[in-house]
Structure formats: structure tokens, C-alpha cells
Structure 1
């Protein structure tokens, strides 16, 4: 569950948005208020807010968003409980407050408005309210057995790890079985396994590396595995060709029908590798002895 919060001055407009019938709005929480429409509720807020004219942003606006899966099963009573717990965790009890649920999108969410001025004319401290809202939402989710942000992140990380492993396995299969001798061959073979390889070329027309698109995920080579960075992929493909990658001119190559420069980093790595090969060849053939 995600919580967002801020202090606002446009109470009436926000209240009107929250109670928007086109968004299938429904009141799920209400305390210390009698009004039956946004205009009446706003006036009740303003009566209390007049006891402290120094505070301009005198309404607290929150959005509480359960996960999509949790939202599918939550009913009005449960949404009211979520809001009540959130208010308690934000230490906002005994203030005027009203909350609406919006069901117009797949992601159900609650709009909560709380009077920043209490009945004694005191202003609620809104320092770091965004961070505190998320912490309150996290605590509320834990207390009510709902999915927390941390759990969502863990699920995403696990899912992403699975995708990275799949891309890497396909990459290793292509490199081992097909031994592509240039980038075009590599890109073509990866595409056969449903992995779209996208060259990343900067404004200077230099090849920096590659991105890998697979099952709605788009990752940099370094995010998939350290062996799939631009320089390491270049060296690996060059190893499949006895003469190395075919250069056109000034560290440029043909890539997808266009002439592209290798970035200084990739060009340097390739040059170092070529030099090492020349030295090894000289030693193996006895040149210089």
C-alpha cells in the first residue's frame, strides 16, 4: 500500500474532486462533519480554519493506494478501517476529516482530506509529510494484513531476477551455439528467441552498449549481467572472428545497415585485446628470439 500526503490551500476544489461522482466516488470515512456535499464540508472546514489565520495551506490531502490485487477484495467497511488506521498512525485523530474511494480505474484508491487546524486553533506540523505518509501507509498495511510497499518491491525484484536469468541464458546459448561474428548476426539470433537487442547510440553516433527487450521488460546489458556490457559483448563477438570485428574506418563499424563509431571505452578495450593477441602470436611463433 502506498501513501502520499501534502498540505494544500485549495480546500474547496480538492473536496469537489474527491466527491466526483463520475469517478464513482463513495464516502468511506467521516468525522466531526455534518455536511452532505463538498460545499457544505468546505464551509465546516473553514469555520475551524478561521481560528488560525496565519496558516494558509490549512488542509491536509492524502492519497492511500492499496495494491491492485488487495483493492479487488476491499469493501466499504474495510476501506473505512484502512482510513481510520492511517489517520491514527498519522496522529490526526479528533480533527475534521472525510475520505472518498475512487473506483473509476483498475487501481482503487482513497482520497482523504483532514483539517490541518484542530479545534484549539493549533496547526498540524507537516514537516516531511510525504515520507511520513508512506511510513503510516506501510504500518497500516502491516497492521491490517495488506501488502506493503516493501513486499511489492521484493516481488518485483524476484520477477526481474527471473527475467534477467532468462535473457542471460538465451545470450549464452546464442554465443555458444551460433558464435556470431558481428553485431548484426548476434541481434538476429537473439531476435529468434524473442529478445530484441537495441543498440544504444549517443548523440555523437557512438555505440555505448545495448539494451535488451524481453517480455515487456527493457534492461541495459549491465543490468542483465556484467558479461553483457558494451565492451565485454564486443570482445566476446570479436573472439568469434579470427580477424576481429571488421572496422570500416576510424573505429567505425557497420551496424544494422549504418556506419557507427565505437565509443572510446569499447574501442580501447578492443585495441588492448588486439595488442595482447599480437604479442601472444609473436611469442608463440618465436619472433624476437
Structure 2
């Protein structure tokens, strides 16, 4: 089961979408609310939201999606338990909330809208709300015996085992040539039919890399734990003799663009770089020892 979440300002429009009968909408959650229409619910939200007019994105929007297989087998009561469990995991018991299940597509899913302002006027903190929604959905899936994201991912990786092994083998061969830049690494991987796709967020910060090969599209860490973005950059940095934190660049040239490294990414690169420096030093010492 997957969970997504964000703060929004369009309360009425979102409730209209949730209540859309063309999507076979059914109410599976109603908390601290009396209204029966999107307009009535919106007005009830606004009464509570008036306690804090500085918060503009004052509604929380969530989507909770069981797997297609699970969704086909879930009853209305089961879907109610999912919505209630999710609200509890997100610590929103003291906030107005309403949830709708949509079955217009093959994939049954639940839209949940919660007032970001609690009944006592407190603003719900939405930092890392996307990640927290994922964790909450996973916890509910575990409690109710539903398929978890981790299980889906493991199944997918097992199905793509030979592609993962092939990508890792090609990656190792390319690293043996000691590329000095990411562009050089990407070009050499492309020459061996592995397409390397940088993952760059809206702030122009590099998040990592995806690898396409023979119909597979995988994050570096899904191919192998040694192929995460920070580990790959640290490996190539070693070829440029970077060994200290101050030498790790804050920006990188990548496919004719300059991308930023977040503080978190730079920190991971530094740690991975330090590990590789130590490893290479140990390997050198062992090699010298073998000569005696």
C-alpha cells in the first residue's frame, strides 16, 4: 500500500473532486463533521481555519492506495479501517477529516482531506509529510495484513534480477577505466547500452541516478547498494584525488548543465569518500604485505 500527502489551499475544489460520483465515490471516513455536501464540509473547515488566518495552505490532501490485487478484495468496511488507521498513524484524530474511496479505475484508492487546523486551533506541521504518509500507509498495511510497498519492490527487483546483474557488471567494467567525470561515466555506460538518467529536483539539486537497460528502469540503489548517487560520485571523485570534505564540490557539471549538491548529498559523498580512501589504503597495504 502506498501513501502520498501534501498541504493544499484549494479545499472546495478538492472536496468536489473527492465527492465526484462519476468516480463512484463513497464516503469511508467522516470525522468531526456534520455536513453532507462539499460546500457544507468546506464551510465547516473554514470555521475552524478562521482561528489561524496566517496558514494559507490549510488543508491536508492524502491518497492511500492498496495494491490492485488487494483493492479488488477489500470491502467497504475494510476501506473504512484503512482510512481510520491512516488518520491515527498521522496523528490527526483531533482534526476534521473526510475520506472518499474511488473505484472508477482498476486501482481502488482513497482520497482523504483533513483540516490542517485542529479543533483547538493548532497548525499541523507538514514537514516531510510525503515521507510520513508513506510510513503511515505502510504501518496500516502491516496492521491489516495487506501488501506492503517493500514487498512489491522486492517482487519487482526479483523479476528484474538478470537486468540488475547485467547493469552492475557493465558498471564495474566502466569503473575499471577510471572515469574522471560523471559525463565520461555516463557516456561509457551509454556506449554499452545502459542509459544513465540523473534525477534532479525542482531546486536543481542532484538526487541520484536511474539506469535503463533492456526494459528495466531502476534507481542506482535498486541495482546494487554500491550504486547510490553518493557512492557513485565518491568513486569518481577518488579518480580526481579528492579526499577531504573541503574538496568535495558543491556543484557538478552534468550533461551540459550545472547542478547543485544538497547538504545531505554532500555529507553522504564525504562519508562514502572517506570509506573508499580507507579501503584503498588497506588494499594497498595488503598488496605490499603479500610481496614479502
- TM-score, scaled relative to structure 1: 0.59
Give the length in aligned residue pairs.
185
2: CA distance, partners of 1:162 / 1:108 = 32
Q: Residue 152 of structure 1 corresponds to which residue in structure 2?
A: 152
- Which contiguous aligned blocks of 4+ residues in structure 1 show a shift greater than 2 angstroms? 162-165, 209-214, 217-220
- Alignment gaps of 5+ in structure 1: 169-203, 225-289
SS in 1 for 2:193: strand
Q: Residue 143 of structure 1 corresponds to which residue in structure 2?
A: 143
The change in CA–CA distance for 1:109 and 1:219 in structure 2 (over 3 A counts) is closer
Q: Residue 236 of structure 2 corresponds to which residue in structure 1?
A: none
1: CA distance, partners of 2:18 / 2:43 = 16
Residues 25-104 of structure 1: pairs in structure 2 closer than 5 A: 25-104=25-104
- Checking the alignment, whether the CA contact within 8 Å between 2:193 and 2:213 is kept in structure 1 is no
2: CA distance, partners of 1:39 / 1:219 = 43
Q: Spell out, residue by residue over 1:145-191, the C-alpha distance to the aligned partner (whole angstroms, 9 max, x if none).
A: 111111110010111116668x99xxxxxxxxxxxxxxxxxxxxxxx
Deviation at 1:75, TM superposition (A): 1.2
Deviation at 1:51, TM superposition (A): 1.1
Q: Residue 191 of structure 2 corresponds to which residue in structure 1?
A: 208
> How much is the aligned-residue C-alpha RMSD, in angstroms?
2.8
1: CA distance, partners of 2:71 / 2:161 = 26
Deviation at 1:53, TM superposition (A): 1.0
SS in 1 for 2:121: coil
1: CA distance, partners of 2:56 / 2:24 = 30
1: CA distance, partners of 2:118 / 2:150 = 33
Residues 245-264 of structure 1: pairs in structure 2 closer than 5 A: none
- TM-score, scaled relative to structure 2: 0.58
Higher-Rg structure is 1
2: CA distance, partners of 1:29 / 1:112 = 8
The change in CA–CA distance for 1:141 and 1:92 in structure 2 (over 3 A counts) is same
Q: Spell out, residue by residue over 1:219-267, the C-alpha distance to the aligned partner (whole angstroms, 9 max, x if none).
A: 79x999xxxxxxxxxxxxxxxxxxxxxxxxxxxxxxxxxxxxxxxxxxx
